[in-house]
């Protein structure tokens, strides 16, 4: 083989390798596009769930979220979220918190300051959710103790 022939063969091999690299790059690009589409789809599904749950709470209980009724609303949201089978613990907690934020942003008749309500949700909701879950699972003495009436027959318990 002459030098020219070798050079031509090398060029052919390089072109072949370039074509294969381009094919691989296109495959990777398609994979990335699919991943992005899936992310967007999941995000849309999540937003739809948040919206639907929040609307259901508003419609069912005619509740406008305020600092006074935030705990009953958390409880109501948790009851609805509990029926969702395709998400687990922490995801349910996050979904509940996101529903609360959605309700604050989309209920224009809130009597409290919106910023204050968002801060309240961020500080109170996570621990409240954890507490409600532990009570529902019987993991606290509150759920397991029977309270007897006191000797004075007062209505304290």
Q: Which residue has the tokens 């069912």?
A: 60
Q: What is the dihedral of CA 71, 123, 91, 83, to 10 degrees?
A: 0
pLDDT in tens, 1-50: 677 777 777 888 888 888 888 888 888 888 888 877 776 777 677 778 87
Number of residues written out for the chain: 157
pLDDT in tens, 111-136: 568 888 899 999 999 999 999 998 88
Per the CB < 8 A criterion, the answer to whether 110 and 64 are in contact is yes
Predicted pLDDT of residue 19: 84
Phi/psi region, residue 153 (left: phi>0; alpha: psi -120 to 50; beta: rest), is: left
């Amino acid at each position: 083989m002459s030098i020219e022939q070798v050079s031509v063969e090398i060029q052919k091999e390089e072109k072949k390798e370039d074509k294969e690299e381009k094919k691989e790059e296109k495959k990777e690009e398609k994979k990335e596009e699919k991943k992005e589409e899936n992310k967007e789809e999941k995000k849309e599904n999540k937003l739809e769930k948040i919206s639907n749950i929040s609307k259901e709470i508003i419609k069912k209980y005619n509740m406008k979220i305020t600092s006074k009724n935030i705990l009953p609303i958390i409880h109501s949201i948790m009851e609805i979220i509990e029926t969702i089978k395709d998400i687990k613990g922490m995801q349910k907690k996050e979904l509940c918190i996101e529903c609360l934020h959605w309700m604050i942003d989309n209920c224009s008749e809130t009597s409290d300051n919106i910023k204050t309500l968002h801060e309240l949700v961020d500080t109170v909701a996570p621990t409240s959710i954890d507490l409600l879950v532990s009570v529902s699972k019987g993991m606290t003495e509150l759920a397991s103790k029977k309270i007897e009436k006191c000797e004075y027959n007062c209505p304290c318990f």
